[in-house]
Amino acid sequence: MLDNLQRYTITMLVENEPGVTARVAGMFAGRGYNIETICGAPTANPEMSRITITTNSTPDQVEQIFKNLRRLVNVIKVRDMTGREAVKREMALICVKALPADRADIYSIIKSFGGRIVDTGLTHYIFEVTGSGGKIDTLVRLLEPMGIEKLARSGILGLYREPE
């Protein structure tokens, strides 16, 4: 049954009320579905928030996820953003060991991925980079031999290219 797992990106508009994110996450946990990433914040309308979740599920499971999300009282709209005409980005903060002999190479790699250094120390750089999950995965693989000390990723944020 789990042989046909696919990554799905689910976006929803919800009422910006206390406990809504917990109820959404609780629906996943209560039914045994895993949340790979979750991001949420108020929209331009402060009465609503957008929550974006990625999950690895089967088509049948994701159909059930949608049905269950639509039943939650504070959920206004749920959409499948998987493979759609949407702008999807992830942000990462990466702390990498940056000894003097490696600094020029690290800086070059960071710049080639559109990253920006936000903190420097005697033996490290902390930088931010934004892009697709694949782009960030590639950057992490390139930096691993130099010594990644800490890594924080936002999860996917997304908006449809045309108004919903």
Quick: pLDDT tens for 39-52: 999 999 999 999 99
Considering the domain architecture, whether residues 90 and 76 belong to the same structural domain is answered as: no
25 SS3 class: helix
Q: Of 80, 95, 110, which residue sits at a domain end? A: 80
> Count of domains in the chain?
2
Question: Tokens in use for 85?
Answer: 């005409």
Position 85 confidence tier, pLDDT thresholds 50, 70, 90: confident
DSSP secondary structure letter of residue 3: G
Mark whether 131 and 104 lie in a shared domain.
Answer: yes
Residue with the two structure tokens 């997304």 = 158
Question: Among 53, 80, 107, which residue terminates a domain?
Answer: 80
The CATH number of the domain holding residue 155 is 3.30.70.1150
pTM: 0.84
Q: Which of 34-48, 81-95, 129-143 has the lowest mean pLDDT?
A: 81-95
Provide the 3-class DSSP secondary structure of residue 4. helix
* 61 and 107 share one domain: no
161: confidence class by pLDDT, cuts 50, 70, 90: confident
Q: For 112-138, how does the pLDDT look when each residue is reduced to its tens digit (9 = 90+)? A: 999 999 999 999 999 999 999 999 999
Rounded alpha-carbon distances, angstroms, from residue 160 to 24, 31, 143: 21, 28, 32
CB 59 within 8 A of CB 80: no
14 and 70 in a single domain? The answer is yes
Q: Are 137 and 104 found together in one domain?
A: yes
Domain that holds residue 62: 2-80
Chosen domain end from 47, 62, 80:
80
Indicate the SS3 state at residue 144: helix
Mean pLDDT, all residues of the chain: 93
